[in-house]
Amino acid sequence: MDLKEQMREAGVDFSACYQCGKCTASCPVAFAMDYGPRHIVRFLQLGWWDEALKSRSIWLCAACDTCSTRCPRSVNPAKMMDCLRVQAGNRRIVAEPKVKVFNDTFLHIIRRYGRIHEGELAIRFNLITGQLFKDARLGVAMLRRGKIHGMPRRIRGIGTLRRIFAQTDGRKE
């Protein structure tokens, strides 16, 4: 399935956008993005898919859904950001690697145990991104408050989860 079709299926109607800019004005992360959501929608209208896929914005988007709630044309820019993230990830175009590493690590842990283990998530993330002591103090404070599980434990239905992961891994449709 190509990107355009995928967007349509997901309910993203970028051709309806009249570039009012309400989405970008509402976006709480726009200040840190290279292109705000309005700009990305415009890229899609022009068929500039690569520009959209290569932008940092799709990774910095917090998926807060404010843009989609306010868009007067029901374009659904939040869903658009989501589709672009999925596609960029599949094509290994990742302008903000740390966000992708976080997502991958998060899912890796669910695949292993069925539930998240914050300690392992933080340690793995730090190791992969080469910031060994990031949030170390916070980690200790969390441990002291019982906010990090002890040893990770596997759920009984882990087989089902592994099957879900195996069959959705790198799906290109």
Partner 1 sequence: MKRAFFPGCSLQATGREYGISTRAVARHLDLELIEIPDWNCCGASSAHSTDELLALALPARNLALAEKMGLDIVAPCAGCFNRLRAAEVALRKPAWQTRVEQLLGMPVTGKITTCNLLDFLVNQVGPETIRRKVIRPLRGLRVVCYYGCLLVRPRALTGFDDPENPQSMDRLMLDLGATVIDWPFKTECCGGNLAIPCTDLTLKMSGQLLRRAQEAGAEAIVTACPLCMLNLDARQEEMEKFGMNLPLPIFYFTELMGLSMGLAPESLGLQCHFTDPQKLLQAKLLL
Residues lying near partner 1 in the complex (CB under 8 A) are found at 10, 28-29, 31-32, 60, 62-66, 68-69, 78, 82, 85-86, 89, 96, 98-99, 101-104, 106-107, 110, 114-116, 118, 121-122, 125, 129, 134-135, 138, 141-142, 145-149, 155-157, 160-161, 163-165, 167-169, 171
Query: Could you count the other beta carbons within 10 Å of the beta carbon of residue 38?
Result: 21
DSSP 41-54: HHHHHHT-HHHHHH
HSE-up of residue 25 (Cα within 13 Å, Cβ side): 7
Q: Which two tokens stand for residue 94?
A: 């990742």
Q: 134 vs 73, 85, 122, CA distance in Å?
A: 42, 25, 9
Q: Nearest approach, Cβ of 80 to partner 1 (angstroms)?
A: 13
> Which of ligand SF4, partner 1, none does residue 3 bind to, with CB < 5 to 8 Å depending on kind?
none
**Shortest CB 78 distance to ligand SF4, Å:** 4
Per-state percent for the chain, helix, strand, coil, to nearest 5: 60, 0, 40
Q: Which is nearer to ligand SF4, 34 or 65 (CB)?
A: 65
Q: With respect to ligand SF4, which residue has the nearer C-beta, 66 or 105?
A: 66
Binds 39, which of ligand SF4, partner 1, none (CB < 5 to 8 A, cut-off by type)? none
CA distance linking residue 48 with residue 27, whole number of Å: 22
Q: How far is the CB of 27 from partner 1 (least distance, A)?
A: 9
The option from partner 1, ligand SF4, none interacting with 171 (CB < 5 to 8 A, set by class) reads partner 1
Residue 119 CB, nearest approach to ligand SF4 (Å): 28
Element (H, E) at 111: helix 97-113
